């Protein structure tokens, strides 16, 4: 009972800073300002988004999911081996290296992205080094490749850390048992290690995929006008077009898609744990 006041405080805080903004977004997505203050119920904003005679909005959504999926797959292919190597190092060494993975996250997100702009631009450091060794410069800035590179760089730690934490907590006796039963290192890895770390894999996928779908800073700074993602489109509706209704409708749509993806992966994760 003595913590009852803290419970009420937390509930009020959660409503004020989480549920209230969501309810406001939902309200704007379902209403149209007819006369300055008179709001009428409408589904026109959602109909506009799913209007197949003008599929540009759906194309942006599909491109956002495609780029997010590519970035997530790359993070998984890079993150799992890195986490595996890290987990098999000596405790002191792996603690130091894991700190190095976390260290860039202490820096402002925009500063990290601006740093990549200075590296990838036409007269950037990468092209200067390529020219110095006699190789032709590359043109990657303001392309889809630059956006994917920025996503992988910014979100890779979110894939490594949960897998690393799962690997260091594995029961070593299970690995020893597989070895005693004649399993090869690859069989032990594929039949024991990977299944036991699947919940961490799904967690890493969620932590990379969700922000990749909704990001707007990376696509704006590194992709420019050539790569428009759903996050950038939503931002423009609020800041440029001043169409809060349509921007809110797109926010609701992307939340439904993201929550649906999370629920599917969560269901798969629960099934694996149940095995």
Contact between 80 and 203 (Cβ < 8 Å): no
Res 265: pLDDT: 63
Q: Is the pLDDT of residue 268 over 60?
A: no
The pLDDT tens digits of the residues spanning 150-164 come to: 999 999 999 999 999
Q: What is the average pLDDT across 213-242?
A: 86
Domain annotation for the chain: domains and CATH numbers: 1-42 (no CATH), 55-274 (1.10.3720.10)
Full-prediction pTM beyond 0.85? no
Q: What is the average pLDDT across 86-90?
A: 87
- Bigger pLDDT: 26 vs 52: 26
């Amino acid at each position: 009972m003595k913590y009852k006041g803290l419970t009420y405080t937390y509930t009020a805080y959660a409503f004020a800073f989480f549920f209230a903004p969501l309810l406001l977004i939902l309200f704007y997505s379902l209403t149209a300002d007819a006369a300055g203050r008179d709001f009428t119920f409408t589904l026109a904003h959602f109909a506009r988004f799913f209007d197949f005679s003008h599929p540009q909005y759906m194309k942006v959504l599909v491109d956002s999911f495609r780029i997010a999926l590519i970035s997530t797959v790359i993070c998984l292919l890079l993150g799992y081996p890195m986490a595996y190597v890290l987990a098999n190092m000596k405790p002191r060494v792996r603690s130091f290296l894991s700190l190095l993975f976390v260290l860039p996250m202490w820096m402002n997100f925009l500063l990290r992205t601006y740093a990549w702009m200075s590296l990838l631009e036409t007269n950037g450091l990468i092209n200067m080094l390529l020219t110095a060794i006699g190789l032709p410069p590359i043109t990657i800035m303001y392309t889809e490749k630059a956006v994917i590179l920025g996503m992988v760089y910014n979100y890779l730690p979110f894939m490594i850390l949960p897998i690393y934490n799962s690997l260091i907590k594995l029961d070593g006796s299970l690995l020893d048992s597989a070895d005693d039963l004649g399993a090869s290192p690859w069989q032990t890895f594929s039949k024991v290690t990977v299944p036991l770390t699947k919940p961490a894999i799904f967690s890493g996928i969620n932590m990379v995929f969700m922000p990749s779908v909704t990001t707007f800073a990376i696509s704006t700074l590194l992709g420019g006008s050539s790569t428009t993602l759903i996050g950038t489109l939503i931002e423009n509706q609020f800041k440029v077009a001043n169409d809060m209704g349509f921007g809110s409708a797109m926010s609701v749509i992307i939340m439904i898609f993201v929550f649906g993806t999370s629920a599917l992966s969560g269901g798969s994760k629960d099934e694996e744990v149940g095995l």
